Amino acid sequence: MSRTDIGLLIPTCLVLFLFFGFSNIRQSVSAADSTRPNVLFIVTDDMNNDLGCYGNSRVNSPHIDELASRGMQFERAYCQVTVCNPSRVSMLSGLRPDNTQVYTLTEQTRSHLGDWVMLPEYFRKQGYFTAQIGKIYHTDDGFEDPRSWDVEIREFGKRPPEEEILLGADPDGPGEHTNDWSVLKTPDEETPDGIVARKAIEIMEEVVGRGEPFFLGVGFRRPHAPFAAPKKYFDMYPPDSIELPLSTPDGYYESLPPAAINYPAPEKPLSEKEQRELIAAYYACNSFVDAQVGVLLEAVDRLGIADNTVIVFVSDHGYHLGDHGGFWHKMSLFEEADRVPLIIYAPGMKAPGKKTDQLVELIDLYPTLVSLAGLPERENLDGINLTEVLDDPAKNTKLAAFTVVSRSTNPAADHAKTMDYLGRTVRTDRWRYTEWDDGKRGVELYDHQSDPRELVNLAEKSDLAETRQQLKKLLKVEQNQ
Catalytic residues: 84, 138
Backbone angles phi, psi at 432, to 5 degrees: -125, 125
The 3-class secondary structure across 180-208, one letter per residue, is CEEEECCCHHHCHHHHHHHHHHHHHHHHH
Q: What is d(CA 329, CA 334) in angstroms, rounded to the nearest whole number?
A: 12
Count of CA atoms in the C-beta half-sphere (13 A) of 87: 30
> Minimal CA–CA distance to 295: which of 47, 60, 62?
62
Integer Cα distance of 39 and 60 in angstroms: 26
Give the sign of the dihedral formed by CA 41, CA 44, CA 47, CA 53. negative
CB 380: neighbour CB atoms within 10 A?
Answer: 8
Contacts of 226 (CB under 8 A, 6+ apart): 159, 160, 178, 180, 181, 182
Cα–Cα–Cα angle for 470, 341, 44, rounded to 5 degrees = 125
- For residues 63 and 290, the answer to whether their CB atoms sit within 8 Å is yes
